[in-house]
Amino acid sequence: MGAQLRLLRRRISSVKSTAKITRAQELIASSRIVKAQLRMQAALPYEREITRAVTGVVSNAASVDHPLTVAKENPTKAGVLIVTSDSGFCGGFNANVLREAEALRGLLETRGLTVVPFVTGRKGVTWHSFRGRDMGGQWVGFSRNPAYADAKEIAQTLIDSFKDENGIDEIHIVSTEFVSMLTQNVVVKRVLPLEVEETEATETTAIPPYFEFEPTAADVLESLLPRYVESRIFTALLQSAASEEAARRRAMKSATDNANELMRVLTQQMNQARQAEITQEISEIVGGANALADAAAGKE
């Protein structure tokens, strides 16, 4: 019985230490998510405006034949940028992204395309390396605090491969979009070739601006499109960073609650074991006293 009590005490001590760690992780994620949200919200207007500008240029210059806006006749390769985290303790955050990336891979392969993954985050890099999959590029170390320079480096790698005759013919992004503290959705977006949807203007939609180009629309696009790709990637990194912190906070809160519940159950079991031990000791004492009384009565 004593061994059981020692075992329960050690388990309670271990679970208590785990609860302290998960609680600390929850507090750290809670403090970081506010900054991540502010950075994400600050970047969204820039992405909207540069997307609007690029759309306006393409809409007003239909004759422009730019390699970043025209789909290739016989595409053979598709590049997929997969945005994961550098560290764990964030629940199913990475698993959801990788699952969606695998679904996209299957869809692209049905079209006869070879998928070339470009991966950010140690979790995604490790996942692909373990399965022996070649990557067109890998970047780690900034999933929780991405900088614009990181997005620029990734965008340059993707654009260079897109412009290469033997490189990729399409660019897709698989990342996590931050909706709220409780909701984060994995989204798949095609970045290149640029897709422009023709829509009718309404009272609630802005009319695309009219541009006059100097010297030519192609030169304007040559300068705008790299910035457009960079902004899309940077926004995806910021959205992913905010989603990662939200997922980590939720996962650590759940882990802390589970640890506290387990401590309650183990404490209850320990109290029951102590009561059983005390009851056994009292029974042994009473039994011994009765035996002595019976022996004394027999001598008389």
Residues acting as catalytic residues: 90
Q: Which of 88, 80, 191 is nearest to 143 (CA)?
A: 88
Distance from C-alpha of 253 to C-alpha of 27, rounded to nearest angstrom: 9
Tell me, what amino acid is at 271? Answer: N
Cα 107 → chain centroid: 22
Sign, CA dihedral 96-136-159-70, equals negative
Distance from C-alpha of 53 to C-alpha of 59, rounded to nearest angstrom: 10
Tell me, what amino acid is at 119? Answer: V
* Distance set, CA 148 to CA 152, 156, 234 (Å): 6, 12, 6
